[in-house]
Structure 1
Amino acid sequence: MRTHEEIKPAVFIYVANPDTCAAVTKWLGEGLEEEGVPFEIRYASGDAEVLAAEAARGSRLGVGIGVGSDGKCVLQHRRLPANQPLAQVPSTTGSRERYRLIGSHAARLVKNLPLKEENRGS
């Protein structure tokens, strides 16, 4: 196991099922990339909340995203209680824009910038 100093600074995205969540992780990555924050995708088992908390604890930046096998996505910060995520996208309401927004939120959290408003449209 790598020590904390050997881990590159990045937002960790922990994914339960790489086969069913490939598009979701791509969209999350787009949101992080547009803000210029590095990320690393890892595969683990658990629901989105557990994965997000583990990802945040493992990241040197203290920010993690968990994606459950059903597509539910949770954004977590190391200093927040595991049962109080910063943001989430239920699997039933997920869209490219919402997942990209979670990626952007993660990046802006790292950069200490205000989060973007969700564009709800008319």
Structure 2
Amino acid sequence: MGPAELAGALGVRTSTLRHWDAEGLVVPRRSSGGARTYAPGDVRDARIVSQLRKAGYGIGALRVLLPQLRRARRWEEVVATLAARDADVDARSRALLRGAALIAALPARDPDRGTA
């Protein structure tokens, strides 16, 4: 599959595919003339990246997550990998919220008097 065809199927621009290539997320093969071609496994990876980007996953997170998904041999392993990632994001989000609540509870300083 060529870049224009894949981009159309995913609803993204070809520049997005080039960006994913540069980031190592979906690296197509090159023809002898240097044209990018996407094998079935590349198309699968591009579909995964597209869906996870729509779900809010950043490029850095996908760089970590995709190799784990590629190693998964069964659907249960894929689900477990995504669930572990979601649990990590939830835990970090709760920690950030707790930190924000602690900061909000600090006494406010009066800038004119230098006191709380």
Using the size of structure 1 for normalisation, the TM-score is 0.34
Higher relative contact order (CA 8 A, sep 6+): 1
Using the size of structure 2 for normalisation, the TM-score is 0.35
1 or 2, which has the higher strand percentage?
1
1 or 2, which has the higher helix percentage?
2
